[in-house]
Each structure stands twice: as C-alpha cells, then as structure tokens.
Amino acid sequence: MDRISRFVIWICSKFNREQIERIIKDLQEILVNRNPEVKPKDDFKEKHPNYREFSVDPNPPLKQPVKKN
C-alpha cells in the first residue's frame, strides 16, 4: 500500500463525512490557486537535485599573483 492510500485511510478513520468533504473542497481550492497563502509542495528539487547547485567563493578575487618565497 502506498503513502497516499494510507493517508486516505487515516483521514477516513479520523474524520466524519462532512469533514472529509470540507477537506476535499479546501484542497481543490488550493489546487486552483484560490488560496495564495497555501501552496502545494514544489517537488522540482526532488526531481532535479543538482539543478543550479553552485556557491560563490566568499574570498574576493586576487588583485595580484601570489608571491612564493
């Protein structure tokens, strides 16, 4: 059984029919972006873990070559 199926079973065991209908209604509103405060999870980073992974060197660039002794 996958995670979503277990989640659905859990919801059914914890809430009554009216509450489940309200949950469904609210989730549909989120999916059509009527509630800008709540955003669905963005899974782009999970699908592309190395996309634009870079960092900037904290040290400034050298103005002159390093002198060796």
Please give the single-letter amino acid code of residue 4. I
- pTM (two decimals): 0.51
Give the per-residue pLDDT at 9: 95
For residue 47, give Cα distances in angstroms to 2, 22, 44. Answer: 19, 31, 5
Q: What is the pLDDT of residues 2-58, one digit of tens each?
A: 999 999 999 999 999 999 999 999 888 888 876 677 776 777 877 887 777 778 888
| Domain boundaries, given as residue ranges, for the chain | 3-40
The string over 11-30, giving b where at least 16 C-beta atoms fall within 10 Å of a residue's C-beta and e elsewhere, is eeeeeeeeeeeeeeeeeeee
User: Quick check: 65 pLDDT over 90?
Assistant: no
Q: Who has greater pLDDT, 64 or 33?
A: 64
Q: Report the alpha-carbon distance of residue 16 to residue 65 in Å, rounded.
A: 73
